[in-house]
Amino acid sequence: MRRGFFITFEGGEGAGKSTQIGQLADSLREEGRTVLVTREPGGSPGAEAVRHVLLSGAAEPFGPAMEAILFAAARSDHVEQVIRPAIERGTVVLCDRFLDSSRVYQGVTGDLEPAFMETLERVTVNGMLPDLTIILDIDPEEGLRRAGARRGSDAPDRFEKETLSVHRRRRRAFLEIARAEPDRCVVVDAEDPPDKVAAGVLKAVRAAMARAERESALKPMRSRA
Ligand code: TYD
């Protein structure tokens, strides 16, 4: 491959993103690829410092715009310090949540202005758009049940604790993004058994990588947006 490949995983709570990312990383490493697994909010020292402020709910009283800006600050650091250098080295980057989580959690269920969200996204992502986004789709009731079982006696975080109707809006918003951007997004049913989900993910990844390789062979001088 001429350069790395950037894959993001998105979806509601309890969709099994980390399990699927781990399995995909194993499969790609078996094929001899160099893989970096990372996550948001976090993934770089600067962004990890902001993570706790967001997930503890410490920023919640200051409103969704404050939270959106903090997610954006964390993302900008993560992109410039970790993701872009890895992609330039030819690494396959697997990121647990990225820009679509901000679009959905802050933009849609935080009711923020689309123009504000678009500007924030443009400056933070700074051209580093995912080559592929896997949306793990799950009924929020089932997802919250799974997330609760995994968490045990710990309290739900700032975003997980919201009402079922908020989680339903988020699910619809992720599916809407997938419909609007079919070249970038693939929806995988996360209620299937984990091995079946993993097979669906791997199939989508292989297809997207093969397409990118065909495109770069056709346009060797193409510069990425
Ligand atoms: P985390 O504990 O990392 O777990 P999971 O991804 O498994 O839910 O929680 C991250 C939380 O932050 C999650 O509830 C989604 C939320 N979030 C946003 O609201 N906006 C964002 O831009 C990102 C990256 C995450």
Q: How confident is the model at residue 26 (pLDDT cuts 50, 70, 90)?
A: very high
For residue 189, CA distances in Å to 18, 45, 122 come to 15, 33, 29
Cα–Cα distance, 225 to 16 (Å, whole number): 30
148-182 confidence digits (pLDDT tens): 999 999 999 999 999 999 999 999 999 999 999 99
Residues 6+ apart with CB under 8 A from 127: 224, 225
pLDDT for 221? 55
Whole-model pTM: value is: 0.95
Helical spans, DSSP H, in 38-138: 45-55, 64-78, 84-88, 99-101, 114-125
CA of residue 74 to ligand 1 center, whole Å: 12
Residues 6+ apart with CB under 8 A from 213: 1
Cα–Cα distance, 43 to 65 (Å, whole number): 22
Most distant pair of Cα atoms in the chain: their distance: 54
* Extents of the domains making up the chain: 5-224
pLDDT for 66? 98
Cα–Cα distance, 132 to 184 (Å, whole number): 5
Q: How confident is the model at residue 47 (pLDDT cuts 50, 70, 90)?
A: very high
Using DSSP's 3-state secondary structure scheme, residue 25 falls into helix
54-105 confidence digits (pLDDT tens): 999 999 999 999 999 999 999 999 999 999 999 999 999 999 999 999 999 9
Q: Which residues of 186-213 are buried (b: 16+ CB within 10 A; e: fewer)?
A: bbbebeeeeeebbebbeebbeebbeebe
> Which residue among 9, 20, 105 is best mutated to probe the pocket of ligand 1, counting the most ligand atoms within 8 A of its Cβ?
105
Question: Can you name the CATH fold of 5-224?
Answer: Rossmann fold (3.40.50)
pLDDT for 70? 98
| Residue 12 CA, closest ligand 1 atom number | 8
pLDDT for 1? 44
CA of residue 128 to ligand 1 center, whole Å: 19
